[in-house]
Amino acid sequence: MTEMKWEFPYTNGGEGDGFNDSGIQSFKDDAYTSLAREICQNSLDAVDEGKKAIVEFKSFDLERENFPDYDNFINVITHEVEFSKKNYKNVDTPLKFYSEALKTLKLDKIKCLRISDFNTCGLTGSDKKINSNWSNLVKNKGFNDKPLDAVGAFGIGKNATFACSKLNTVFYSTISNDGLKAIQGVARLSTYETEDGNMTQGTGFCGKIVINNNGVTNLMHIEDYYSLDHDFIRNDNDYGTDIFVLGFHDDSNDKISDLGDNWAVLITASLIDNFLLSIVEGKLEIRINDIILNSETIEDIFNDINSSRPDLFNEYTAEYFNVLLGDDTENTVNDKISMFEPDDVELILAFNPNYHNKVSINRHTGMKLFDKDRLGNQAFYSGILVLRGKKVNAYFKTMENPNHDGWSYKRVGAPQDAYKMYSKLFDFVRTKIREFAIENTPDSLDAQGIGEYLADEFDIGNNNSEKEDINNDIVEEIEVKEKKPISLTQITVDDPEANDPLQVLGKDSEDGELEGTIPRGNLNETDDGSGTKIEGDKGNGGFYFDSLGNVRANKIRSYNTGEQYNLIFSVPTNVDELVIDVQIAGEQSNYKPVIKFANMKGVIISNNLEIKDNQIKLKKVKANNNYNVSFKLSDDKKWSLEVNLYENKK
């Protein structure tokens, strides 16, 4: 459109913009996947009631002569190159970026990406200056007036499109259901100096320049619809939005899949990761060049990519896929809870010994927020939790971080009330896991992978005479409750407020995160010297975790005979003194019981076991020997126990 003009306002002595726009840079490392997530969440927010959101990603070539106000824009980029040479002495990133942008602009054809959505309301409110869908996306920062149950709220997601542009330039065009049309371009560059010595703002706009009666220049959109992709046009009653990414990073490396271009496959994988539930439930369909991803095609597409490049997916996506589409219904639990409205939260749990005990947390649109762990290890499971109701979505939305991938109740105005709701939600999940484990725990069960280490007879040391005795005491008479084998280690925590390092008794989970408790304070008599404990939280909160231990249990198995607990284990290295720390597993945290009695079967070594400081200590533990330790608690109730092993280094 010949009437479209670029304009970069002057700073008028105010603040300038440097090259490192944090909003754009935060998406650079994972541009394609971030683009897919941010675009589709906005389309799902804007979808017409009862319809399926359709989003199309289509690459195309823009002839240089069709670039809006080309001569003016290339003059701006030339000034940016010269300004970078003059003012950036120690950093070469700005000069490299603008030099590459200049090369891109001089090509006969410029690679671009069109992103279009259908069955949506479009970008409404283009006639408003603030707090409309149009103005908040195109013109303003920090404004938000989305409904409480909408996903996007912080406004940083719109930068994902700029991160995919070699020119940091995007055009928006819409036909909205409020009867309006609009098109405008935005370039997020950096301050430069003009020929007359004025400093510009970093953000420029391409549209209609209007000077009012007071001589004030306004950079306005054009009140019409226009497509930069000449192979695509939108009809007047076809409401929706088109976003054009100019100078698209199309990733020209070797093919990673036969499905299509690299960028298309990466976006497809990201969409399956983040919108699996939306696609399976038929709420979302995406077209990525020649790839059509919907409820009918998702299984084949997922299998095609996953068979050759599973690394493109979140490590738990295959499990969630099986939860939704698997045929093992006997080991699947589906239940609901009412938090604000009847049945407004739904939980789908599938149990399988190969699963990693994660639950995908999803908004009502089907967009995944994050993977939740630490929900219990009484069984092996994977799950999907969906906030179905509008009120529960609105409530937990207030806990979201700007990236929409985590919750913190501290973000809410009344954090104590928020914590109660947070706890209620996940206690519901824990209860369902525990109920399934109780109902389906057999009389005898091998922990995953334990068979290669422990024979059916459970040899203890090298004394074969004990085999029959152990069989009679344990296997035939007791109910077995198993936990997943865990690797155990000793951790040192450097506390900046303490003089001496603290010891963390914890377990390394499969994703490398630390779970456990940090004993603190002075020893006391009321809890047999266990001290006061605080939660160990993945090394955050000012603590630095440094793994120093060399004790890792290569097998561990436990039994409850009704009168005592038996623990069978071995370690891969010799240990002078091994400490067995027993804790009762609580819903929110663990606490220590009082150990009344302990002995060891099958290894005849005098004085090698003692109870000290309410812990069981074994001396001269030999590598790869099987040890069977029996112990009783002062409380005769049956508890779910967590046992931590570590070496006592003197």
Note the maximum CA span of the chain. 104
Distance separating alpha carbons of residues 109 and 89, to the nearest angstrom: 33
Give the CA distances from residue 587 to residues 141, 375, 376, 561, 583, in Å, rounded to whole numbers and listed in that order: 42, 9, 8, 24, 12
Query: What pLDDT sits at residue 452?
Result: 38
Which one, of 441, 432, 399, lies nearest residue 418 by Cα? 399
pLDDT range class, residue 607, cuts 50, 70, 90? low
92-111, pLDDT tens digit by residue? 999 999 999 999 999 999 99
pLDDT range class, residue 6, cuts 50, 70, 90? very high
338, 344 in Cβ contact below 8 A? yes
Overall residue count recorded for the chain in this entry? 650
Which one, of 229, 288, 283, lies nearest residue 263 by Cα? 288
Mean pLDDT of 202-229: 90
Query: What pLDDT sits at residue 529?
Result: 33
Which one, of 487, 488, 491, lies nearest residue 546 by Cα? 491
Angle between the N-to-C axes of helices 262-280 and 31-46, in degrees from 0 to 180, rounded to the nearest 10: 40
Which sign, positive or negative, has the C-alpha torsion 368, 369, 374, 376? negative
Of the listed ranges 424-428, 504-508, 625-629, the one predicted with least confidence:
504-508
Residue with more model confidence, 608 or 343: 343
pLDDT range class, residue 188, cuts 50, 70, 90? very high
Token readout for 503 is 């010891």
457-514, pLDDT tens digit by residue? 333 333 333 333 323 333 333 333 444 433 333 333 333 333 332 233 333 333 333 3
Beta bridge mates, 580: 616, 645
pLDDT range class, residue 522, cuts 50, 70, 90? very low
pLDDT at 156 over 60: no
pLDDT at 605 over 80: no
Query: What pLDDT sits at residue 485?
Result: 39
Query: What pLDDT sits at residue 592?
Result: 81
Token readout for 314 is 């979140």
Query: What pLDDT sits at residue 554?
Result: 62
pLDDT range class, residue 583, cuts 50, 70, 90? confident
Query: What pLDDT sits at residue 620?
Result: 87
Query: What pLDDT sits at residue 603?
Result: 47
383, 288 in Cβ contact below 8 A? no
Query: What pLDDT sits at residue 1?
Result: 60
The structure tokens 């695509």 sit at: 232
pLDDT at 274 over 60: yes
pLDDT range class, residue 527, cuts 50, 70, 90? very low
Identify the DSSP state of 541.
Answer: T
- pTM (2 decimals)? 0.69
Identify the DSSP state of 475.
Answer: I
Distance separating alpha carbons of residues 86 and 95, to the nearest angstrom: 10
**Residue 41: which H helix or E strand, with range?**
helix 31-46
Token readout for 614 is 């309410």
pLDDT at 28 over 50: yes
Report the percent of the chain where pLDDT is more than 90. Answer: 47
pLDDT at 518 over 70: no
Token readout for 131 is 């707090």
Query: What pLDDT sits at residue 553?
Result: 65
* Mean pLDDT over each residue of the chain, to the nearest integer: 79
pLDDT range class, residue 217, cuts 50, 70, 90? confident
Mean pLDDT of 21-49: 82
Give the CA distances from residue 157 to residues 152, 242, 610, in Å, rounded to whole numbers and listed in that order: 8, 16, 59
pLDDT at 58 over 50: yes
Which one, of 429, 273, 278, 271, lies nearest residue 358 by Cα? 429
Mean pLDDT of 164-184: 96
Beta bridge mates, 335: 347
Mean pLDDT of 283-290: 96
Mean pLDDT of 440-452: 44
Query: What pLDDT sits at residue 172?
Result: 97
115-148, pLDDT tens digit by residue? 999 999 999 999 998 889 999 999 887 665 555 4
Q: Among 193-197, 377-381, 625-629, which range has the highest average pLDDT?
A: 193-197
Query: What pLDDT sits at residue 461?
Result: 35
Token readout for 644 is 């931590």
Q: What are phi and psi of 315, to 5 degrees?
A: -65, -15
